[in-house]
Structures are given as structure tokens and as C-alpha cells.
Amino acid sequence: MKTIVMKFGGTSVGSPEAIRSLAAIVRAARDAGDRPAVVVSALSGVTDLLLGAAHAAADGDAGRARETSATLLERHLRTLRDVAPTAEAVRDLISDSLDQFVNLCQAIAVLGEASPRALDAIASLGERMSAPLVAAALEAEGISSLSISTADIILTDSHFLNATPDMEATHERAMARIQPVLAGGGVPVLTGFIGADRRGAITTLGRGGSDYSAAILGVALAADEVWIWTDVNGVMTTDPRIAPDARTIPVLTYREISELAHFGAKVLHPKTIRPVVERGIALWVKNTFAPANPGTRIVLEDEGWVDGGIRAVTAIKAQCVITLEGRGMLGIPGIAARTFAAVARTRTSVSLISQASSEQSICFVVPYPAAQTVVAALEDEFRRELSGDDLDGVTASDPVAIITVVGAGMVHTPGVSGRTFSALGNASVNVVAIAQGGSECGISCVVSAQQADDAVRAIHKLIV
């Protein structure tokens, strides 16, 4: 008997049909003798609506919260009527949750500011409504279940919007609260995305954090496997919307999936990988709407991979190249340290770094919306050097995309870089910057936003 943590994303709970598919998957696992614990996201699109109304309230538009509440109430109750028509307690809980949402937005409108703590309280409401709804649907299908808020399970720090869990305390709580449900033959339905700090304030694990929740709970419950259920057949060689001939990758190493998760692949949250790999827990990515498809299995490094060369190509868009240059930089120690310390003070993540051996320029890539904030921070840090002409200036590019070629076997396969850049050249794609990690698991290059899709399609043709 295996304990399996199954995470279902927004599209996997986004309609009555999807929820019935979820129930069929849970039933099949139980029939096979396994013990599933279910982690659910908010219904698709709900978190964006909640946060959009919260930000509107901060700008003085309190009426949008009432409109959003009415829309979400109608959607959730319509779904509930379809999958669990007699679940009166869940109907009341959904109504109460949305009343709380309106009250929070009214408070934000009065203050004129949406604090991180308030945003977490609002963002969490999607999962706090979906988990009881899914539990009721399972009960209606004859599957004993219990909705449990992970605010009572996952203990975190007080870093609102992107909290970090206390794994030891979470393990103790999970074993005390969730394990008895599993042992009794029930299916716990857990809220993804959320936890709480020591004062009981709701926290969230960052956008996409339901994947992370599944990994945390998989470790806390000493699960045998974690299954991430989504709306595609596992991890694909690239985005099928860009390259229609994209296909599922049967097996990926943890290192490969980490590269893909970081550089734009939307299947797994980047934080998901670490806690699972540290415990050797099997990780699968599967399709809720095609459960017979084997999906993608994530394996340890020492299990090897099927072939060498390129396994996947991905793009992360809406990026900007920041360049710091000047002949006065040559041979001066500490320029790079000061540069990235200034960027860190803006709390901006750097996606890629490239520097030539001449030391006359440093360029790096940040999300485009953060570009002007980063430029201002660098101009302030180097104001003396800029006024003394030791530095020529700090510039920000037009929008660009990072194209990343991933394959753990590339280290054993000569000529991958050559074929990659030849393919880009043949497609008339101009490369702005290049970076490769020492592991040789991934090669990244920067291209203009307009050429991003052409670059992906050109490289994807190299995948055999």
C-alpha cells in the first residue's frame, strides 16, 4: 500500500467535468490499494480575480470586489450544485468566504494600500473554497473524504507572499492530523498554496505554490510518490502552442526538470523539486483529462537518462537585458559584487548573467517590469563612477526572451552548442547574449521578443 500525494491544478478542478475526472482518478488509486492524499488549487482563474479586485480596492475601486464576489459565488455554487447538490455546509462556507473577501477589500480601500499580509489572506480564499467543494464531490461519489486547511498543517515564517515552511513542525502536524485520515481509509483534501505563521496569520508559498505544497506534504507524510496532475500529458519537449509537433518526454532527471522549471516551463513550480529529490520520493507529471497516458517520470541523477543531446527547449519571455559598461571597469575589483548587491536591494531575481573576458561590460537579464527600478538602483550605486566617466552608463534593452536548451546528456555529446547556434543562424535569429552553467545541463541565450517563437521552433527541430 503506497501513500500518494496527488496535486490537482486549477484546470483540473475548474469545471464539474474536471472534478468528476479527479474523483475517478482518486477512486482508481484506492481500488489499486493505494492511499491518496489530494491537494487542490483554486478553480482556474479565481486567484487572479481575487487579487485583481484587491489591487483595484487599493486604487480606490471598492465596487470591483462586490462584482467579483458575485461572479465567484455564482461559479462556485453552480459547480457545487452539479457535483454535490446536497452539500449545504459547503455552500454556506463559500458564501462566508466571499463575504470575508468583500470586507477585506473594503478595509484595503479605506487604507489605500494592500499589505502583503492582506493579499495573502485574500489569495488564499480560492483554495479555501475549492478544497471543501472537492471533498464534497468525493463524498457524493461514495468516497469518504475530509477537507483540511493547510493553514493548520504547514507552519511557515512570516514572509508573506512567498513564505518558507518549517519542515519539522509541518511533519509533526501532518502526522497528527492527516495520517489518521489516511489510516482510516479516508481521503484528505488539502488546500494547496497556503500555510500559516506562528501567530496563525495566513501565508502563501508564492504563485504556483500548490505544486510546492504537494512536495512539502509528500515529505511531511513520508509519501511514496507525488503526482502532479495538470492539463497536458506530462512535461513536453516545448510549448505545443509554439511548436505543434511537441511531444511528451517519458523520463527526465531532477536536474533537467529544475532547469525547465526555472526557465519558463509552466508544468512544475521550481520549488517543487528540492524537497522531493532530497527524500528520494518518486515524482510524476500526469494529465487529469487523459489519466491512461503515462506522463513524465522524474528520476534521480544516478538512474540515468534515455539518450544524450537536447531533451527540451523552453522560453521565458518579458525579460530585459541590463548592461553596465565602461573602460574604467577594466581590472577594478568589486564591480560585479556592487552590481548584484544593488540589484538584490531591489528584491529582483537575475535570470542570466554574461560577461566577456575584457571586463569592459557586464550584462544580465531581469524581468522587464523590474528594469527601470534596477537601472535606478545601479545609477545610484555607481553615481561617482558615472560622473567621473569611469563608467559609460547603465542601459536597459527592449523586451527580450531567454531561450534555454536542456539535456543532462549534453555533457557527453559533442557539438550540441554548434548545432544549436547553427539552427538559430539558419532561422535568421540574432543572439544577444549567451550563458552556460558548469554542469552543461542547459545552454541559455537571449533573443529579441519578436524572434522568441522562431528560435524555439528552430531548436526544437534538433530534438530526435
Q: Which 3 state secondary structure label does DSSP give 144?
A: coil
Contact 348/370 with Cβ under 8 angstroms?
Answer: yes
- pLDDT recorded at residue 437: 63
Residue 18 has pLDDT above 90, yes or no: yes
* Selected residue with higher pLDDT from 184 and 388: 184
Residue 427: how many CB atoms within 10 A of its CB? 15
- d(CA 135, CA 190) in angstroms, rounded, equals 9
CATH number for the domain that contains residue 188: 3.40.1160.10
The whole-chain average pLDDT of the chain stands at 91
Q: pLDDT grade, residue 415 (50/70/90)? A: confident
Residue 362: how many CB atoms within 10 A of its CB? 19
DSSP class per residue in 398-442: SPEEEEEEE-GGGGGSTTHHHHHHHHHHHTTPPP-EEEE-TT-SE
Structure-block grid coordinates of residue 66: 462586490
Task: Find the angle CA(232)-CA(235)-CA(240) to the nearest 5 degrees.
Answer: 60
The reply to whether the predicted model has a pTM over 0.75 is yes
Residue 226 has pLDDT above 80, yes or no: yes
For residue 436, the cross-strand partners are 443
Domain of 18, in residue numbers: 3-231
Overall number of domains in the chain: 1
In a domain, 159, yes or no: yes
Of the ranges 14-28, 237-251, 352-366, which one carries the lowest mean pLDDT score?
352-366
pLDDT, tens digit (0-9, with 9 covering 90-100), for 310-364? 889 999 999 999 999 887 777 677 888 999 999 999 989 898 998 776 567 889 9
Question: How buried is 211 (Cβ within 10 angstroms: 0-12 exposed, 13-18 middle, 19+ buried)?
Answer: buried
User: For residue 388, how many C-alpha atoms fall within 13 Å in the half-sphere facing its CB?
Assistant: 8
DSSP class per residue in 39-60: EE-PSTTHHHHHHHHHHHHHTT
* Selected residue with higher pLDDT from 410 and 228: 228
Distance of CA 226 to CAs 8, 121, 352, Å?
Answer: 11, 27, 30
Q: Which single residue is written with the C-alpha cell 508559498?
A: 205
- pLDDT recorded at residue 310: 87
In a domain, 155, yes or no: yes
In a domain, 125, yes or no: yes
Structure-block grid coordinates of residue 344: 538584490
In a domain, 194, yes or no: yes
Give the strand pairing for 202-204 and 225-230. unpaired
In a domain, 115, yes or no: yes
In a domain, 333, yes or no: no
pLDDT, tens digit (0-9, with 9 covering 90-100), for 66-96? 999 999 999 999 999 999 999 999 999 999 9
Of the ranges 49-53, 196-200, 209-213, 428-432, which one carries the lowest mean pLDDT score?
209-213
For residue 367, the cross-strand partners are 319
Residue 88: how many CB atoms within 10 A of its CB? 11
Structure-block grid coordinates of residue 432: 544577444
The alpha-carbon radius of gyration of the chain (Å, integer) is 24
pLDDT, tens digit (0-9, with 9 covering 90-100), for 118-159? 999 999 999 999 999 999 999 999 999 999 999 999 999 999
DSSP class per residue in 167-223: HHHHHHHHHHHTHHHHHTT-EEEEESSEEE-TT--EEE--TTHHHHHHHHHHHHTT-
In a domain, 8, yes or no: yes
Of the ranges 88-102, 152-166, 427-441, which one carries the lowest mean pLDDT score?
427-441
In a domain, 406, yes or no: no
For residue 354, the cross-strand partners are 363
